[in-house]
């Protein structure tokens, strides 16, 4: 339900403003991939009438662009090899062994990190959550852009993909709010324009954890799509569709016309 709720907010925000709604699958972490999960995501969206524009974008298709970004970061002088294990890291996730001064050049296992200059980034205004200020926690001293297993890190991949010329707005869950500061910093370093970000407050279960697949939340029941949409609209504090709207399309038509951004939704 948490994923449907966030997708619905993104869909309605785009459609209300007569924009296109692009679906991107962030598939850059094969070891964590669950067989069949992408197909279930697509089927769930389609069943609820959340139809995307154009082809589905797969993040793994952008490997060349990610590699160019890594090269550019290296040329900026901010990229360094880090040999830290999880146990070596600081509480903020930054390098804990001052690897930036070691200039490691051998082939021992390492990740690639960037040193952060906070003066290059300003606060930003989130479309749903309001002004967002930068703190030590939201933008640490450094962070990973390429993992020691050779896979591109989420921060780099999302930053490069979010800054595509045709992307003007990114709507996603509040759990990614801190990441936005890092991604906007990467935009500044790479000479990219940041889109307008909007983060939807998370849904939590009775145990206090967010309603997500990784926390064991059940999949939405596709036999009651109209009820699912009505429940999500209520959670997003939207005007309830009339009783006459009894199928997903009718509900979405009403919700699109009456969409009101869930400002500072808690």
Asked if residues 131 and 264 have their Cβ atoms less than 8 Å apart, the reply is: no
> pLDDT tens-digit profile of 112-145?
999 998 777 788 999 999 999 887 666 788 999 9
- Residue 216 has a pLDDT of 57
Would 223 be classed as within a structural domain?
A: yes
Count: domains in the chain = 1
What CATH number does the domain containing 130 carry?
3.40.50.620
Range of the domain at 169: 2-257
Would 174 be classed as within a structural domain?
A: yes
Q: Give the predicted TM-score (pTM) of the model.
A: 0.88
> pLDDT tens-digit profile of 76-89?
999 999 988 888 88
Residue 45 has pLDDT above 80, yes or no: yes
Would 239 be classed as within a structural domain?
A: yes
């Amino acid at each position: 339900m948490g994923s449907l709720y966030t997708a619905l907010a993104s869909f309605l925000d785009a459609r209300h403003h007569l924009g296109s709604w692009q679906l991107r699958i962030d598939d850059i972490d094969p070891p964590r991939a669950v067989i069949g999960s992408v197909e279930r995501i697509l089927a769930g969206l389609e069943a609820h009438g959340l139809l995307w524009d154009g082809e589905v974008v797969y993040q793994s298709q952008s490997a060349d662009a990610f590699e160019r970004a890594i090269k550019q970061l290296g040329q900026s002088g901010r990229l360094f090899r880090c040999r830290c294990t999880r146990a070596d890291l600081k509480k903020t996730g930054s390098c804990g062994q001052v690897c930036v001064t070691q200039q490691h050049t051998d082939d021992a296992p390492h990740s690639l990190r960037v040193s952060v200059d906070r003066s290059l980034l300003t606060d930003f205004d989130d479309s749903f959550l309001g002004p967002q200020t930068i703190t030590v926690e939201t933008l640490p001293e450094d962070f990973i852009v390429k993992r020691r297993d050779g896979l591109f890190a989420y921060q780099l991949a999302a930053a490069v993909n979010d800054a595509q010329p045709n992307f003007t707005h990114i709507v996603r869950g509040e759990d990614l709010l801190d990441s936005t500061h890092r991604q906007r910093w990467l935009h500044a370093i790479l000479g990219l324009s940041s889109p307008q970000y909007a983060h939807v407050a998370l849904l939590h279960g009775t145990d206090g954890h967010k309603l997500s697949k990784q926390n064991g939340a059940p999949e939405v029941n596709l036999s009651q799509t109209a009820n699912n949409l009505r429940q999500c609209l209520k959670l997003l504090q939207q005007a309830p569709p009339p009783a006459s709207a009894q199928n997903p399309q009718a509900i979405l038509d009403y919700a699109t016309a009456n969409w009101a951004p869930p400002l500072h939704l808690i």
